[in-house]
Structure 1
Amino acid sequence: MPSDPTGARPTDPTGSQTNGPASAGKPAGAGLSRSPVSQGPQSAPAPAAADDLVRAVAQLLDDGGARNRRLDAPTLRQALVDLYEFWLNTKGSEVGIKPDSGLAIVAVGGLGRREMLPYSDLDLILLHDNVPAKQLGATADAIWYPLWDAHVKLDHSVRTVPQALQVASNDIPAAMGMLDARHIVGDEELSNLLISGIRRQWRAGIRGRFDDLVVQTTARWKRSGEVAHRAEPDLKNGRGGLRDVQLLDALAIAQLTDAVPGLGPDVPGGGLEHAHRSLLDVRTELHRVAGRARDQLRAQDADEIGAALRIGDRFDLARTLSDAARTVGYSVDVGLRTAANSLPRRGLSRLRRVPVRRPLDEGVVEHAGEVVLARDARPSRDPGLIVRVAAVAAQTALPMSAMTLNRLSEAAPELREPWPKEAVNDLLVMLGSGRGLVAAVEALDRTGLWGRLIPEWGAVRDLPPRDAVHTWTVDRHIVETVANASTLTTRVARPDMLMLGALLHDIGKGRGGDHSVVGADLATQIGNRLGLWPTDVALLSAIVRYHLLLPETATKRDLDDPATVQRVVDVLGGDYVLLELLHALSEADSLATGPGVWGEWKSSLIGELVRRCRLLMAGDSLPEPDPVDPALLKLAADGEVHVELTADGQHTHRVTVVAPDGAGVLSDAAGVLALHSLRVLSASVRSERGFAVNSFLVSPRFGSPPDVGLLRQDIIRATAGQLNLEKALVKKERDLAALRPESTGEKGMPITYSQAPPKLIWFEGTQPGEVLLEVRAEDRLGLLSRVAAALERVGADVRWAKVVTLGSAVIDSFGLRIDSGDSAAGRARVEAAVLEVLPHTAPKAPPDSA
């Protein structure tokens, strides 16, 4: 690359000249008073020399001048743009940079984007069309030296159009900077050659540079952190900052995505354009308050900046920044994903088949790595579709398509009150999906759908914490708590109440008063809207009301004092289930607060308090079998297999199987349901008078349930040994999650687990020789069939069973007779067999629910 011909300053290896001297700091007379805006840039004097330019800028920044009342941030930026443009036009004409001169001044950076900040660098390119070196050097000196001598911070270069294009072709940051190029003075045709050439080159080369662009962006995020969750965020380089807005513009110029992807004006915070303006305004005031260029917002400046922008105090400013940064962050995620899918394929990849649409749930499919609506989905007729799409996205850890979210936002009606039970179950599946929940809620929230599901969320959205120990905003802390709680579902008898309690435990914040008391009332309101049983609504309200009881008592009171333990038991009304739920929630809440909040000391104190409370409480009530409908026993009199299928809701059905009792009846029936993609939500299983009466509440994964005759035929084949269910279930599970052939270049979609460890609990039965086994575990394809088969293999006779699926967790109770002289050895064999078929960690194969 030839060196710069001006000889004015040394050049770097790319040909760009180094900066001139730094600005001398805050202009004299720049005060801190904050008067209302009344005057625009026309009040500043017209600068004839660079010193005049500096004085004019200082006058704009002078808050106390008699003629200038304080300019607001947008007006100040426009005034600065006008001043710099006026000076450059005047000086350029003076030194011969005219329309027919073969010379042009092009602005990049803040001036190019018309986003000039008080202490931003002035980024200029002096373009020339092979002008003689002597003339070029004199012209460059006449422009640069006055600016240097006036201590204006200057980034500059002198190039021909081919030289500039060569630099942009080798340097992604330089190329992205030149995408902001804007003609200022001189030969406009020459400037247009550069501007159009840079954009054309960027579009043509984006396929080969996209991966490097993503790598550089990710590295920048790692260095600078997230604007939304940093105490002192980097407004320019952090994730969700101004650089990301410029990245979106660059992707739009490459024609890979829209400049405002996936967001409209009605979303929380007003959308991407409003978020961009908010970030710019805060950074403008940061410059003004600091008296120099600064990207990182310091805590000591936050109150002054918030007051200057008429936002409020530092907490109000933090909330504004969180909203803006998370909107930008979501938009960038959508933009990068859309851009990646829009890139033309190269080489052999062009021969690969177009990505297929794989069904995930009713009305929901996967396409090109995103969760989208099926072609026959009708959002206007399916209010629960929003929750179902989100549940699938959380389980598969796949992003929801921006177009899908927009379509749901426009067409999906409000869920009626009370919610359909299918929608509640999908919500529980979503909440129990572990870390996949975080991205799903963020996407719903940024597009306005989460607030539609939970209107009370608006008070905690982007609400900053009031103490330094909290890492996250209140809404993100809540979601983190739910994700943590999903790993503890097997420790409690009511995992559904644990997940809902975690979701609502801090919902009362941001409204004034004791957030536990306020939140308990809101939990009652939300529980009724969800259609929970009155006893469950009361339990949910109590969870929220007393979610701080255990940690505050354990860490602040004497546990050796019997009155301390008695007080906790009295407050909880002796409810063991509530105590168990509060214990798990205390751990999940502490883990989501920040590093070091949950540790061995706090864990041991709360554990000891819970242990002592249990000693004062009565024992658990044992699970009991449901009574058998006499009509079903009458149906079984002929000794044949009978199967009935009846609708039990919009997407749920009741399957009743009556057959002669014998080994394998339960596992065979449950296995056949799983093979036909029927997810068991609950089941009641009885063995009486030599007949097995099994009733299953099921939900089809896709479409309608199979014909009842087909179900009966497959159950008969399975009991006769003509259908190997074990192999069929293994094959179905592998088919759902196996990697696609390498020739397609596409991978399967593993459903994520919260990794809650399975738990087995034994009780003594109420009948002679009977024991009760309660199984708590994550759901998976054919789980009931696998567990029943495991029990049968070790000789355990299943007399009755009650099965409940709560979101992504199951609570299955079995009344057993174990033929063994040594009861301990018999139970050990049963435990080993059952644990072998339960999911212990997140498997590579994606489970389907049965």
Structure 2
Amino acid sequence: MVVVGLQARDELPGGAKDLVRARDQLLDGGDSRNPRLDAESLRQALVDLHDLWLTGKGAELGITADSGLAVVAVGGLGRREMLPYSDLDLVLLHDDVDPQRVAEVADQLWYPLWDAHIKLDHSVRTVPQALRVASDDLTAALGMLEARHIVGDEELSNLLIGGVRREWRTGIRSRFGELVEQAHARWRRGGEIAHRAEPDLKNGRGGLRDIQLLDALAIAQLTDAMPGLGPDVPGGGMKQAHRRLLDVRTELHRVARRPREQLRAQDADEIGAALRIGDRFDLARTLSDAARTVGYSVDVGLRTAGNALPRRGLARLRRMPVRRPLDEGVVEHAGEVVLARDARPQKDPGLILRVAAASAQTGLPMAATTLNRLSEDAPELREPWPREALNDLLILLGTGRGTVDAIEALDRTGLWGRMFPEWGAVRDLPPRNPTHIWTVDRHLVETVAYAGVLSTRVARPDLLLLGALLHDIGKGRVEDHSVVGAELATQIGRRLGLWPSDVRAVSAIVRHHLLLPDTATRRDVADPDTVRMVVDALDGDPQLLDLLHTLAEADSLATGPGVWGDWKASLIGELARRCRLAMAGEPLPQPDPIDAELLARAEAGGVHVDLVPGDGRYTHVVTVIAPDTPGLLSDAAGVLAMHSLRVLSASLGGSGEVAIDRFVVTPMFGDPPDAGLLRQELIRAVQGELDLAKALVKKERDAGARTSPYAQAQPRLIWTDTAVPGQVLLQLRAEDRIGLLSRLAAVLAAADVGVLWAKVVTMGSAVVDAFCLDLGGGDTPQRRSEIEAALLAVVPQPEPQKPAETDIDTGSDEIY
């Protein structure tokens, strides 16, 4: 044992006041005789110092190996994490010793510490008494799990330490619920360290108490002490996060010269400099990374522990959880998203995004073992990305709150940064503006979640989501983040495989994402010059204007409370309205031309169904040529859905009395069915021998949580008159569900509405459909209203609002 920094190294004076002087000598080091210790060395020196004093005092009081007495340390000293002003937590154990003798020893041990004003948490117990306390008091049990023998009868200490740990393992099943409840209550009180201006390093979410919780679960043999993360992940994993939190807390004690767990803004610069991290913003970034790493590991640890709890009674007879397919190579098992048994990550770079998209859609977490396997085995996506990978990314981005947890898990395990290397510049980057409550990377993901709710306001929800994800990607650099971000967005858009026009659109969104809010709040929106300036900046593009208008709201909502309000919304709305009038609208959808070969086959008559490989690895093109009878579109789309073929896009038209419909589809899992089978099923459906409505209900029920009947965005229908009397264009923007196109077509057929042509596009989890309808002489407002109500009845609707739950407090708006 070596006490660094003490002038007298061979022996420590016996008085507790000398202990305090020795501690202060360690804290005040900074000269050649007594150099200043770094945080880790200081903790070790303090452990050595207290061990030395207690060992000497114990020997002085007769606490020896055969005395029937032992001193056991819990808390920081027990964990060998002694901080400058931490409480001293000690237990005096005794076995068959005269009570008067025990009392005398206790008084002579405790009173010197009290007289020296050392904060002491103490108890005097036999081993059975201590075990009873541990069995009755969860907090006491957690403390005793960290117990360490200091001096005296080591066998007595081992009886306590071994007994507590043994009873903890055998009784964890009955105490697990209380343990989880206690953790959640602590998080509500302490807030999230990663996003709090003045975080509680000990009790906050992602803090040192959470690391102790993981250690307790590891002792119960329910999980690893560092679950879900290895040393190669961003930030260095759990070990590095633990050390960083301890170092900051150590310096906080040293700066404050008192026990303090909450990092104050005025101390941050001094602590950052002492740890050679940098200024307060650098310190905030370091803490955010550490806390989010710990937070992710705690989520994984609690989930793993819950699944590993031993079963009793009838629970032992339950069947093992089934593996329910979610996507190609992805299944649900035991409440987690895992890889299918036949998945081959080494040969399937898109598997990462399919796993994440399934997790976001279902709300089920990705198993830590799955993420680790993907991290080790999955290859890089080639550039440009395959279309299927881009679509899975859009599904991931379009699922609302599910997006946040899924991206956080990918980021903590290094997978998100692999796909988006530019993310490293904004990861855990603290905001410079006090109105922001999130780190920059979390703000981007929060903006995506809000944009998903607003996605039906725009004709291109995919561009809105990508713009939301990237709008602040240029931060963390010296140059204007909008200019830098636009360049990065171009680079990323090309990597994702976007069309050149879409790459330009995403880049323009990032470049001008502040144009509307800055202009509306700083200039006169009624001034024609203001309108002209905005229109010129956007090159007169009404689609870009709508995207920026919607993004402005999502960005403000994701910034913090009070940033978006009626005043700001009205100013931006009025500016957008005037600019839209100046731009004079946007072109309406037009039908795609029909291939001459398909026209020739249509003239031959009969029912034809072809299925050929598409451009992507998992896409196929299904062509249906059949007599254009009422309900054909519903039957064709229903047969595809019944066979787990998801429609990515469709062009529906015809020639005379023959319908020619082309669908680009992807199997939900496995291989597509044979074209001959699809043809037989279509003929049965047309002849009324196949109840597609019933089949789709069963299909959706079997899919379970993956296809919730609820949506996050309000569906939107837009009616537009055409130049031909009785013909109208109906545009639908909504969230997808199994068999949606079939249900929509069935509604139109039941309403005796002819579909002249249609264009259907699925963008991630959203659909943007355009139908050219023939209403004949019955085009009245009442009929349109009836059709609209019937269509909305089969479209996913937002879930009814529940009473607001108490969110974790993020603290004051000021960032240290």
What residue is the counterpart of 1:160 in the other structure? 126
Q: 1:818, 1:826 within 8 Å by CA — same for their partners in 2?
A: no
Moved more, 250-259 or 48-57: 48-57
What residue is the counterpart of 1:47 in the other structure? 12
Q: 1:796, 1:830 within 8 Å by CA — same for their partners in 2?
A: no
Give a deviation string over 1:520-557, Cα, whole Å, max 9, x none: 00000000001111110000000000000000000010
1:296 aligns with 2:253: no
What residue is the counterpart of 1:249 in the other structure? 215
What residue is the counterpart of 2:769 in the other structure? 812
What residue is the counterpart of 2:759 in the other structure? 802
| CA–CA distance in structure 2, aligned partners of residues 529 and 766 of structure 1 | 41
1:129 aligns with 2:95: yes
Q: 2:707, 2:738 within 8 Å by CA — same for their partners in 1?
A: no
Moved more, 230-239 or 815-824: 815-824
What residue is the counterpart of 1:26 in the other structure? none
Q: 1:111, 1:122 within 8 Å by CA — same for their partners in 2?
A: yes
Task: State the 1:48 CA deviation.
Answer: 2.0
Alignment gaps of 5+ in structure 1:
1-38, 738-747, 845-850
Q: 2:542, 2:583 within 8 Å by CA — same for their partners in 1?
A: yes
| CA–CA distance in structure 1, aligned partners of residues 451 and 235 of structure 2 | 29
Task: State the 1:309 CA deviation.
Answer: 0.6
User: Which of residues 761, 780, 804 in structure 2 aligns to 1:823?
Assistant: 780
What residue is the counterpart of 1:536 in the other structure? 502
What does 1:321-332 correspond to in 2, within 5 Å?
Answer: 321-332=287-298
| CA–CA distance in structure 2, aligned partners of residues 335 and 669 of structure 1 | 47
What does 1:398-797 correspond to in 2, within 5 Å?
Answer: 398-648=364-614, 649-737=616-704, 751=708, 754-797=711-754
**3-state DSSP of counterpart to 1:573:** coil
Task: State the 1:765 CA deviation.
Answer: 2.4
Q: 1:397, 1:751 within 8 Å by CA — same for their partners in 2?
A: no
| CA–CA distance in structure 2, aligned partners of residues 446 and 176 of structure 1 | 27
Q: 2:726, 2:779 within 8 Å by CA — same for their partners in 1?
A: no
Task: State the 1:843 CA deviation.
Answer: 8.8
Q: CA 1:96 to 1:171, structure 2 compared with 1: closer, same or farther past 3 Å?
A: same
Task: State the 1:783 CA deviation.
Answer: 0.7
| CA–CA distance in structure 2, aligned partners of residues 769 and 54 of structure 1 | 92
| AA aligned opposite 1:674 | A
**3-state DSSP of counterpart to 1:390:** helix
1:176 aligns with 2:142: yes
User: Which of residues 242, 251, 264 in structure 2 aligns to 1:276?
Assistant: 242
**3-state DSSP of counterpart to 2:121:** strand
Q: 1:434, 1:754 within 8 Å by CA — same for their partners in 2?
A: no
**3-state DSSP of counterpart to 1:293:** coil
Which of the pair has the greater relative contact order for Cα pairs under 8 Å at 6+ separation? 2
Q: CA 1:398 to 1:752, structure 2 compared with 1: closer, same or farther past 3 Å?
A: farther
Q: 1:633, 1:691 within 8 Å by CA — same for their partners in 2?
A: no
| AA aligned opposite 1:659 | A
| CA–CA distance in structure 2, aligned partners of residues 610 and 805 of structure 1 | 27
Task: State the 1:736 CA deviation.
Answer: 2.4
| CA–CA distance in structure 1, aligned partners of residues 630 and 540 of structure 2 | 41
What residue is the counterpart of 2:224 in the other structure? 258
User: Which of residues 211, 214, 217 in structure 1 aligns to 2:183?
Assistant: 217
Q: CA 1:123 to 1:559, structure 2 compared with 1: closer, same or farther past 3 Å?
A: same
Task: State the 1:346 CA deviation.
Answer: 2.6
What residue is the counterpart of 1:5 in the other structure? none
Task: State the 1:52 CA deviation.
Answer: 1.5
| CA–CA distance in structure 1, aligned partners of residues 202 and 707 of structure 2 | 36
| CA–CA distance in structure 2, aligned partners of residues 226 and 768 of structure 1 | 60
**3-state DSSP of counterpart to 1:271:** helix
**3-state DSSP of counterpart to 1:581:** helix
Task: State the 1:65 CA deviation.
Answer: 4.7
Q: 1:632, 1:693 within 8 Å by CA — same for their partners in 2?
A: yes
Give a deviation string over 1:749-798, Cα, whole Å, max 9, x none: 66485521111112222545421111111111111111111111111100
| CA–CA distance in structure 2, aligned partners of residues 289 and 832 of structure 1 | 66
Q: 1:775, 1:812 within 8 Å by CA — same for their partners in 2?
A: yes
| CA–CA distance in structure 2, aligned partners of residues 421 and 514 of structure 1 | 32
| CA–CA distance in structure 1, aligned partners of residues 521 and 297 of structure 2 | 43
| CA–CA distance in structure 2, aligned partners of residues 432 and 749 of structure 1 | 14
User: Which of residues 769, 793, 796 in structure 2 aligns to 1:839?
Assistant: 796
**3-state DSSP of counterpart to 2:580:** helix
1:207 aligns with 2:173: yes
1:349 aligns with 2:347: no
| CA–CA distance in structure 1, aligned partners of residues 779 and 195 of structure 2 | 58
| CA–CA distance in structure 2, aligned partners of residues 68 and 632 of structure 1 | 90
Q: CA 1:44 to 1:736, structure 2 compared with 1: closer, same or farther past 3 Å?
A: farther
Task: State the 1:735 CA deviation.
Answer: 2.7
Task: State the 1:661 CA deviation.
Answer: 1.1
Give a deviation string over 1:243-274, Cα, whole Å, max 9, x none: 00000000000000001101000001000010
Give a deviation string over 1:304-354, Cα, whole Å, max 9, x none: 111111111111100000000000000000000000000012332222211
| AA aligned opposite 1:79 | A
Q: 2:6, 2:25 within 8 Å by CA — same for their partners in 1?
A: no
Task: State the 1:619 CA deviation.
Answer: 2.2
Q: 1:820, 1:826 within 8 Å by CA — same for their partners in 2?
A: no
| CA–CA distance in structure 2, aligned partners of residues 689 and 573 of structure 1 | 41
Q: CA 1:480 to 1:357, structure 2 compared with 1: closer, same or farther past 3 Å?
A: same
Shift >6 Å, 4+ stretches: none
Q: CA 1:619 to 1:492, structure 2 compared with 1: closer, same or farther past 3 Å?
A: same
| CA–CA distance in structure 2, aligned partners of residues 819 and 542 of structure 1 | 42
TM-score (norm 1): 0.92
| CA–CA distance in structure 1, aligned partners of residues 103 and 707 of structure 2 | 63
RMSD: 1.5
| AA aligned opposite 2:670 | G
Q: 2:399, 2:712 within 8 Å by CA — same for their partners in 1?
A: no
Q: 2:711, 2:797 within 8 Å by CA — same for their partners in 1?
A: no
| CA–CA distance in structure 1, aligned partners of residues 29 and 57 of structure 2 | 28
What residue is the counterpart of 1:24 in the other structure? none
What does 1:110-129 correspond to in 2, within 5 Å?
Answer: 110-129=76-95
Q: CA 1:643 to 1:301, structure 2 compared with 1: closer, same or farther past 3 Å?
A: same
| AA aligned opposite 1:728 | A
What residue is the counterpart of 1:317 in the other structure? 283
Task: State the 1:618 CA deviation.
Answer: 2.4
| CA–CA distance in structure 1, aligned partners of residues 376 and 6 of structure 2 | 45
Identity of aligned residues (%): 72
| AA aligned opposite 1:696 | F
| AA aligned opposite 2:131 | L
Give a deviation string over 1:131-168, Cα, whole Å, max 9, x none: 10121112112211111111111111111111110100
| AA aligned opposite 1:825 | Q
Give a deviation string over 1:282-324, Cα, whole Å, max 9, x none: 0000000111000111111111111111111111100000000
Q: CA 1:719 to 1:400, structure 2 compared with 1: closer, same or farther past 3 Å?
A: same
| CA–CA distance in structure 2, aligned partners of residues 515 and 207 of structure 1 | 51
| CA–CA distance in structure 2, aligned partners of residues 560 and 259 of structure 1 | 62
What does 1:46-195 correspond to in 2, within 5 Å?
Answer: 46-49=11-14, 50-65=16-31, 67-195=33-161
**3-state DSSP of counterpart to 1:692:** strand
Q: 2:88, 2:118 within 8 Å by CA — same for their partners in 1?
A: yes
**3-state DSSP of counterpart to 1:263:** coil
Q: CA 1:493 to 1:44, structure 2 compared with 1: closer, same or farther past 3 Å?
A: farther
| CA–CA distance in structure 2, aligned partners of residues 337 and 532 of structure 1 | 38
